Amino acid sequence: MNPETTAAKPLSPWLALVVGNSRLHWGLFADNQWLGGWHTDHLSAAQMQALASANFAAHRWERLELGLPSPIMQAGGLEGRSPLPLWAAAVVPSVLDQLVFYPHLHRVDLGQVPLSGLYPTLGIDRALAVLGAGKTYGWPSLVIDCGTALTYTAADQGGLVGGAIAPGLGLQLKTLNTFTDQLPKVLVDPEQLPHRWALATPDAMASGVIYTLLAGVRDFIADWQQHYPGGQVVLTGGDGAAIATYLAQQKSPLSTHLIQDDNLAFWGLRACRQQTL
C-alpha cells in the first residue's frame, strides 16, 4: 500500500520594515523562515506610495533604483505574490504615516513588545533588538548596537535591565569634522586598528575616537559579565563587524564570546508577529 502523502502547506510571505534614524531596514520572511534583507535611505512619500501601490513588487524597487530585492523574492518563490502583509516598527513614526492607506500594514509599538519594564521613550529598535537577542540566543542578553548611536540595551528573563546611549563611531568622527575649523573628514579602516600614537591629524582623530570607544565597550561588557555571568553579548548595527574586529585585534578576553548578528531587530519583529497569530 502506498503511504499517504499530504501536500505541504504553502508558506505565507510577509515583509518586515524597521525604520531607523538614518536608514530603512527591510526583510522578507516566509512564515518564520528568513529569506533575506536589504537597506535603503529614507524614502519620499511619493516613493513609498509607489512601492505600496505596486504591493512592494520587485520590479517597482528596480524602477525606483532603491536596491534590488529581486533575488531575495525569486529565491523564496515569491516574485509576483501580492499584496504582502507589512509588519513595521519605526524610530521615526512619521515615516509609517506615509503607508496609512496600505491594506495590510501592522504597526508595532512598544506596547506590543513582550518585555516588562519598558519606559515610554525607549527606542523601538532597541526593544526589538534585545527581544530578538533573548529569543535567539537566550536570556540574559546585552545588545550593543553600533549604529549612528552606540547603544547598550540589556534584558533578563524578558524584563528590561537598562542601558546607555553614546555617539557612534561615525558620528564622533563627523562631529569633530563638522564643529571644528581645522579637523578633516576621516574614514577609518574597518578591518585594521589605527596606530594608537599617531603622527598625523587624521590618524590621531581615528586613534582618539576608536580607542576610547573600545575602552567604553569593554567596560560595559565587563560590568555586564560581572553582574550576569554567562549572559549573552550580541553586537549589531552598521559598525558591529568593525567593533568586533577591533576587539579581537586587541586580544581582549571579552571578545571571545561575542556574537555578531545584524538582524536582531527583525528577529524581535518576528517574535511580536508570532504572539499575535
Instruction: Please give the positions annotated as active site.
Output: 125
Q: Rounded distance, CA 52 to CA 66, Å?
A: 14
Per-residue DSSP letter, 67: -
Rounded to 5°, the CA angle 122-137-128 comes to 20
For residues 236 and 143, the answer to whether their CB atoms sit within 8 Å is yes
Q: Rounded distance, CA 182 to CA 173, Å?
A: 13
For residues 24 and 39, the answer to whether their CB atoms sit within 8 Å is yes
Cα-Cα-Cα-Cα dihedral sign, residues 49, 40, 235, 150: negative
**CB-count exposure of residue 121 (10 Å: 0-12, 13-18, 19+):** exposed
Q: Rounded distance, CA 157 to CA 154, Å?
A: 10
